[in-house]
Structure 1
């Protein structure tokens, strides 16, 4: 049977937010222990005192590394961080005809040199994110589709990742966690094999760019 300490350590290590909070000393141990008591008693099949849980949390916090065990290494190349401005996001209800709209949009938009256009199809919704010059085209092609939301005055920051970044557990969490600590609100995420694009409100773009710039590892 698991001990209280072992079970507490397992709970903490399985939650990146608990691990980060304990490592930074941001969590009230007594309150966290009170919150964990019901789960621990249920899992361990015995009464668990709050003091014992607090002691176990202190031990776990003392063993957490001062920094992330694995540094996030981003692509070492020019253009690894790119910003795009003045974007608009449309969200449409998916219909039987919306795939035709998607194809027509890509055909008529052409290469759109220097402009941004992406379409994401979900099970119930379709999202179109585009540069402002494409707005009229999107409105025309999707005129008969049900518009669920329209967000304007957005910017995007694209981060270049290494080709093997998919092998790094929690790589997206590491990026999003740092943005969350700096209170950067994200509107949407778009990813490819080596690119992660963050869609943000204008006022958060500078902070996001700063956070991501600081994450880029510089080789000497």
Structure 2
């Protein structure tokens, strides 16, 4: 049976920004209770009082995993080098039987040039390539028989080297995404390996994004 407390918890858990605001004590309980009155009344199918919602908000306790919190702090403190690469272009192609052949042409051309940024991701229906803009014409030539779904220039990538064992830490990527979202930084692409994490943003956002990532190290 649903209660006001369970409704409050359901709403908060599904709203990361709201949960963050409550944990930082920057949200007015009275004002929030008024905003939540209608959705909670609809969930319970009966009218509820603002005072009862406010009481539930005050009693709400965020799940706290002290051990994981300590692991997160340690990981962020030990973040490795942060590298920024600019002048990047992004291409999205529809998957096909010949796509890998086109891809191999690009790999052969850039294999000896270690200055070129390159990332390839294959999904179920489409594949994505992020590469230095200097190779833009090479991509268009190699993939001329493929179906181009989208392309974007004027991109930059910020790569972070993560400490070993990071894949065992719950909430690691959430913390990174959350802080970027708080700064209203839109991510164009995300690429990751076991110990490296790369975000791709439009050029006009790269300075702000870099500042956010750098502050993670404390």
Distance verdict in 2 for CA 1:139–1:99, change over 3 Å = same
Secondary structure of the equivalent of 2:188? strand
Check the 8 A contact 2:166/2:195 in 1, yes or no.
yes
Which residue of the partner structure matches residue 87 of structure 1?
88
- Structure 2: stretches of 5+ with no match in the other structure: none
Q: How does 1:1-220 map to 2 (within 5 A)?
A: 3-9=3-9, 11-13=11-13, 15-24=15-24, 25-26=26-27, 28-29=31-32, 30-39=34-43, 41=44, 47=46, 49-51=48-50, 52-60=52-60, 63=61, 70=69, 71-72=72-73, 73-74=75-76, 76=78, 80-217=81-218
**Shift, 1:116, TM fit:** 0.3
- The number of residues matched between the two structures is 207
Check the 8 A contact 2:88/2:133 in 1, yes or no.
yes
TM-score, length basis structure 1? 0.83
Distance in 2 (CA, whole Å) between partners of 1:161 and 1:32 is 39
Structure showing the higher helix proportion among its residues: 2
**Shift, 1:75, TM fit:** 6.4
Distance verdict in 2 for CA 1:35–1:22, change over 3 Å = farther
**Shift, 1:113, TM fit:** 1.3
**Shift, 1:195, TM fit:** 0.9
TM-score, length basis structure 2? 0.83
Distance in 2 (CA, whole Å) between partners of 1:178 and 1:19 is 13
Distance in 2 (CA, whole Å) between partners of 1:87 and 1:93 is 20
Instruction: Kindly report the root-mean-square deviation, in angstroms, between the aligned alpha carbons of the 2 structures.
Output: 2.5
